[in-house]
Chain A
Amino acid sequence: MQLKAVITAAAPGQRHILDQTLTTHDGKRTRMIEFLLNFVQGVATETAFIIPAGASEAYRPLLNESGQRIVLIEQNHPQGYAHAIFEAREFVGNQPFLHMVGDHFYLAGNQSGGQRNKQPARTLVESLVSIYQQHSCSISAVQPTRESLLPYFGAVGGKAVSTEGPTKLYQIEKVMEKPTPTEAERELWAPGLRQGQYLCFFGMHIFTPAVMGILTELFSTGHPVSSFSQALAILAKRERYLAAVLPGSRIDVGSKYGLLQAQLALGLGGPDREEVLSMLLELAAR
């Protein structure tokens, strides 16, 4: 199954995807945007980047280099994350679409004995599509996250649909944007999690067209839309909306040491693991 993809890259923390680079194990310096395109390769028929106003020129060379169908949408009057997605309404039309955030770096597979079970990160997107094909409803990838990190993410609560196998599925009943632990403990129940952990967004979603409909309703009221989670909370009330815990992890490269963390994760997950570890120890011992 193939879908259109929408990647948001207009927020201040997401604007560096053209400049930020990571070095892969073969020594190649790869830009963040290339990683993003690689993630959706084979799944996305066409990818729209929501970028800041006037940024198209900087992105233009990419259109030729990538070999993928890319559309650039400038967010001329930025009103937040929900608005950025809303800007893609014409692009997606009345079709389901894949949505990813531009400042996340993904690692597929589970950590085992200090070694990551190496799989391309693209498999995470493929898993999400596979679940979508099976359930035909909106689905958000989520990750159990410690409560201390709640200020950084949207989070969901709901009942378990399937907790067997590598991918756990929950039916979302409640969505909250950056909840406090107080609210999370009270509202965001999800069975099978450790105490103090909540299902936080992974930055990877497949939405039915209903989402754009809800955003249209919200923006037509003239009131500011506080967060995209506001729309997703309505979605959870209107139709079946699933959360999938995928076998992987994400790094927010927009955070303080996010890019460094992503580079280290790449290094430690590849053939140069011993070298990177020695390097770290040497640094630590100084």
Chain B
Amino acid sequence: MTGGTMSIVELITGNPPERDYPLDYWGRGKNLDDWQTAASELETFRRQTGSLYEKVRALIFLSAMHRFHIGPAVQGRALVPYRAIEHIRARSFEQALLELLAMQQEAGSSPALCSALAAAYRGLAFETLADQVRQSVRQFPGNQWMFRAGHVDEYPLRLHPTLHQGPPFPVLHETTPVRMDLSHSAWSDIFFLAMDYPEGARVLNISVDLSIHGSGQPTRPPVEGFFRIIDEPVLRLVSVDLAAQVDITSLDEVFDFGADYLGLLKAAVIASGLIPAGLEGSGQSLSRILTCLTGRADCGLELVSQVNDIPKGSRFAVSTNLLACLISLCMRATQQIRTLTGPLAETDRRQVAARAILGEWLGGSGGGWQDSGGVWPGIKLIQAVQATEGTQEFGISNGCLLPNHIILTTEDVPLAARRSLEASLILVHGGMSQDVGPVLEMCTERYLLRSGKEWDARKEAGHLFDQLVEHLKTGDIQQLGRFTEMNFNGPIQTIIPWAGNAYTKALIDACRLQFGENFWGFWMLGGMSGGGMGFLFNPEIRPQASAAMPGILSDTKHRMEEYFPFAIEPVVYNFAINESGTTAQLKQGDDALLSAPYYLFRTPADLRRQTKDLTPERRRELARFPIAFAEHMQALFDQLLPAREVESATASGQKLISLLNANGFDPAAHEQLRSDYYHGLLGLAQNRLPANTLIEDVKPDDVSQMDIHQDSVGKQALTEGRLAIITMAGGVGSRWTKGAGVVKALHPFHKVGQRYRNFLEIHLAKTNWAQKQFATHLPLVVTTSHLTGRPITQFAATLEPQFQHLDIHISPGRSIGLRMIPKSSDLHYLWEVMPQQQLDEQKQKVRDSGRASLLKWVQQAGETTDYTDNLPSQCIHPVGHWYELPNLLRNGGLRQLLHESNNKLQYLLLHNVDTLGATVDPILLGAHIASGAAMTVEVIGRQLDDHGGGLARVNGRPRLVEGLSLPSEQIESSLSYYNTGTYWITIDALLKVFGLTRDCLSDQLKVDQAVRRTAQRMPTYITIKDVKKRWGRGQEDVFPVAQFERLWGDMTALEEMHCQFVEVPRSRGQQLKDVAQLDPWITDGSSAQFDPLF
């Protein structure tokens, strides 16, 4: 049977090769009826099958079918029932599906229903997979008892007798290497893949010690943990590298993961069984457990973590190995591991790895199945294991939860080969820290769909893996480098194009340019490039390469830092293979001390207390540590007198003031806003229209359809040079980078041919095409803000030749706001009243706990006070895109355009930089001209993810309404159309609304007054935005801050602004706001339209 003739169910249940036949290939030549029949069969099948993976594949198939095949082909207008939206938000996917399928049955299929069905099926698929991993890890032998221990009286652990011998109490010290993955193996270590495709899940995993190149420090295990009894009845958790400490006295605090920076230590405490998971919410006493463990009512425990100079996002799985280190430490201390010191036995390593997976789930993070590789020594071949009778996964999934670790001995990989690798490889952290979560989901989805070229790439990765192993065994590092780079350029980027990026490419090009044949290859570590990476060089020139790499990294970073989310300055590591794995030692007597950094962190606080307030042990330790760590006394004084911090804060404050002054900040208006916000005249609740406002869906006649007959009118206007384009590029991609603040317009997010292209380049290419197509001259205005103006101006000055002839104008921003600390009432409103997407159970717990901390932060920082505790650029904000066009009036940009066109210019196409489909379309221009409207608004049919308002009849008049202003969220779901943010504008009509004419544009005072007068008629919205604050070594905190905005869509509410609304195809109107949208953007063919333009 060939793939195409199989039923859709056979595609899932068949054996390979049928099972591996891509869904896309199966669908070739199928029509809408065929797809709908197949969806119906699959819906029945997925409810009946008992196999986890058949169920999950069916769900992912159903999601893809509704999103890419059925949704775009159906014509219905049925909207998504609000109850289904609520169910999806609450993660009640089955109930959502019942609602959606019932609506489909009743009203027929529609693009909106298909979008919701696709989301619900996808959500259910990933939830089913995650539940299975959780179930497997809970049922892993040795883990189950922790969920049964629900009472202190049943607490079964005792500390190792040696740890009681004191004072001073002995210190148990564990050091753990981190892991690097030499093979990458195309993300085959994702649990979902390994448990379905164990034969393909193989990695070459190496335990490594590191140090920062140039620091003068020898390489050492990057992760350390300490455990001891203390003479205070508390559970003390300390993270030395995060400079955080908490003394826990209740069990509830142990399970409160988001309350502080110690979530990982808490997860280790629970996953190690020290505080069993079954005690959560039991109301039991922590002190009784501590007494049970220490044998004394006046003693407690201290657990300390320390990461040695490794920044976040290193791709060495630092957090997983730290978790494993701490779990191992606690398990040794409580005799769950029999060897108190030294390396671990294989059984114990596996137990620690299983507990680390548990800990990651508890802490709401996630890791791959090879990530705790640092627990094992040296070089390991890690392979997934087929589930067989007797394994807990048998009958549920093809593979087991935990893989097998085959340690490669010096017979397999000789010492010489190991030394050759060390002599060739330079490991770096490129400085970027990115969330790889979306990549892992994309990867899983593509695997389950067996998307054609990705599946071929996965098979190719398997062949390359065999080659890598062979070359490592023979010590042929040159060939190894060739194959790691081949892997990166081939399978890895075929499966996930965003695994590579322009920054990485620039680094590779620079190395090749500088070192030519002596640069043997690039190697990507982990989920995405830009963070942890490897460069292999001929050992003969490696010293030169080591010396050059910091400069290459730093130069490249500084060229790109305005449009890539860099978290830290790049670093180069020294590294060595660690042949021991995780190891513990016991420090007793006078040696019973922790590390110097620990004392540097803790001692200043102790010294500020009165001696009588310190416990006897602490006093004795304060006397002992200066002798043991005499060379660190200067550093201790520096800690006590933090002069540099004060200097830095002062400099930052001055920079903020000058930035505000330079960008037209209006202190008086700011104070008025603050006052209004403080007194409740502005706020999230006040954003909403009065409850008695009549808001209804528009009538069919309110929205025009595109009419080919209007094509000629538009073409003529184009030919006559009566149109200019305005691309709004003032934004910093809050959602795109989750608050990191980059120039989104310049972010090179997509590879066309061999080059990465940014948003603006795509618009330039379209403008270029349109000029040629319509034989005309099309001025392109890029409106900017204080954050984006300079980088975009620089970019425009160095365009590549194909764009140099374009008529580009940069419109500088004239308005700027200063963020404020939000009111706690607004945060409550945002989190409790406004609809929120629920997260998976454990992640939601972490989020809720984090929110409680943010509310405390608001109280401490002062509601409605200025937000200044961050980089200056993160404290200010653009004040909404309403100002971008009026800025053109104020800064003379429009006057200049009119002048240069000899006053022929009559129309503007205004759009957002992330609306990539917004091209110059003569039909739409023709429709606009023919209507006589001041403004034509492009709208699209609403789908599930379209939040933030839409087109409505407000008190009987069609206009755009912002989501912020809707009295109830339910109303939004009843609106058929969503605003694309793309507008066609007649210049003279707009000027009239402002009370201006072409002639008076040169009267600056008049223009300023006109803009101010019109602005006052626009509603001011308070919004809460997430802002990242970076600190330490790549650590990031996200704070909610208040800012105000005025939005262009509200112009449609003005009586004198005659507007018409026209429906456009989704591919034209969709905005790319979130990185997770990229995958469907490519899959649905939206991206392919730009390929011919370059």
Contact = CB atoms under 8 A, between A and B. Distances in A.
Given A151-B158, A195-B144, A180 B334 contact: yes
B273 A182 contact: yes
If over half of B's interface residues share one DSSP class (helix, strand or loop), that class is named, otherwise mixed; here it is loop
A151 B331 CA distance: 15
A126 interface: no
A195 B143 CA distance: 13
A46 interface: no
B148 A183 contact: no
B142 interface: yes
Interface string A124-161: 00000000000000000000001111110000000000
**Interface SS of A by simple majority:** helix
A90 to B, nearest CB: 32
A183 B336 contact: yes
A180 B336 contact: yes
Interface in A187-207: 195-196
Nearest to A146: B154
A182 B351 CA distance: 9
A180 B333 CA distance: 12
Interface string A206-220: 000000000000000
B149 interface: yes
Q: Most chain-A CB neighbours within 10 Å: which of B156, B338, B351?
A: B156
Nearest to B334: A180
Interface residues of B, number: 22
B351 A150 contact: no
A185 B158 contact: no
Contacts of B153: 148
Contacts of A180: 156-157, 273, 334-336
B155 interface: yes
Contact of B156 (A150, A186, A195): A150
Nearest to B272: A182
Contacts of A254: none
A182 B142 contact: yes
A148 B335 contact: no
B156 A181 contact: yes
Interface string B59-91: 000000000000000000000000000000000
Interface string A159-182: 000000000000000000000111
B141 interface: yes
A148 B142 contact: no
Interface in B304-340: 331, 334-336, 338
Nearest to A151: B158
Given A180-B335, A182-B142, A182-B273, A147 B347 contact: no
* Most B CB within 10 A of own CB, among A150, A182, A183, A184: A182
Contact of A196 (B145, B335, B351): B145
Of the four ranges (under 10, 10 to 19, 20 to 34, 35 or more), the interface on chain A belongs to: 10 to 19
A181 B347 contact: no
Interface in B150-193: 153-158
Contacts, number: 52
A182 B149 contact: no
B158 A148 contact: no
Contacts of B155: 148
Given A182-B273, A196-B148, A151 B156 contact: yes
B141 A186 contact: yes
A183 B339 CA distance: 13
B148 A195 contact: yes
B156 A185 contact: no
Nearest to A176: B338
Nearest to A184: B145
Nearest to B153: A148
A196 B347 CA distance: 20
B806 to A, nearest CB: 68
Contacts of B157: 151, 180-181
A180 B146 CA distance: 11
B142 A185 contact: yes
A65 B146 CA distance: 51
Contact of B351 (A148, A151, A184, A186): A186
Contacts of B148: 147, 195-196
B331 A182 contact: yes
Interface in A32-52: none
Interface string B273-296: 100000000000000000000000
Contacts of B347: 186
A152 to B, nearest CB: 10
Contacts of B141: 185-186
A180 B273 CA distance: 10
Contacts of A195: 144, 148
A157 B1086 CA distance: 62
Nearest to B337: A182
A172 B157 CA distance: 24
A181 to B, nearest CB: 4
B145 A185 contact: yes
Interface string B1035-1076: 000000000000000000000000000000000000000000
A230 to B, nearest CB: 12
Nearest to A196: B148
Contact of A147 (B145, B158, B334, B351): B145
A147 B145 CA distance: 8
Interface in A2-24: none
A148 to B, nearest CB: 4
Contacts of B334: 180
Contacts of A184: 145
Contacts of B142: 182-183, 185-186
Contacts of B149: 147-148, 181
A185 B154 contact: no
A157 to B, nearest CB: 11
A77 to B, nearest CB: 21
A150 B146 CA distance: 14
Nearest to A181: B145
A104 to B, nearest CB: 21
A146 B334 CA distance: 18
A183 B145 CA distance: 10
A154 to B, nearest CB: 14
Interface in B850-874: none
Interface in B416-468: none
Contacts of B273: 180-182
Contacts of B154: 146-148
A147 B156 contact: yes
Nearest to A148: B154
Contacts of A181: 145-146, 149, 156-157, 273
A183 B155 CA distance: 15
Contacts of A150: 156
A146 B144 CA distance: 14
Contacts of A185: 141-145
A149 B158 CA distance: 11
B161 to A, nearest CB: 11
Contacts of B156: 147-151, 180-181
Nearest to B276: A181
Contacts of B331: 182
Contacts of A196: 145, 148
B336 A182 contact: yes
A177 to B, nearest CB: 10
Interface string B484-510: 000000000000000000000000000
A151 B336 CA distance: 11
Listed from nearest, the 7 A-B pairs whose CB atoms lie closest are A148-B154, A181-B145, A182-B336, A186-B142, A180-B336, A182-B142, A186-B141
Given A181-B273, A185-B141, 15 more contacts: A146-B154, A147-B149, A148-B149, A148-B153, A148-B154, A148-B155, A148-B156, A150-B156, A182-B143, A183-B142, A183-B338, A186-B142, A186-B347, A195-B148, A196-B145
23 contacts: A146-B154, A147-B145, A147-B148, A148-B154, A148-B155, A148-B156, A150-B156, A151-B156, A180-B157, A181-B145, A181-B149, A181-B156, A181-B273, A182-B331, A182-B336, A182-B351, A183-B142, A185-B141, A185-B142, A186-B141, A186-B347, A186-B351, A196-B148
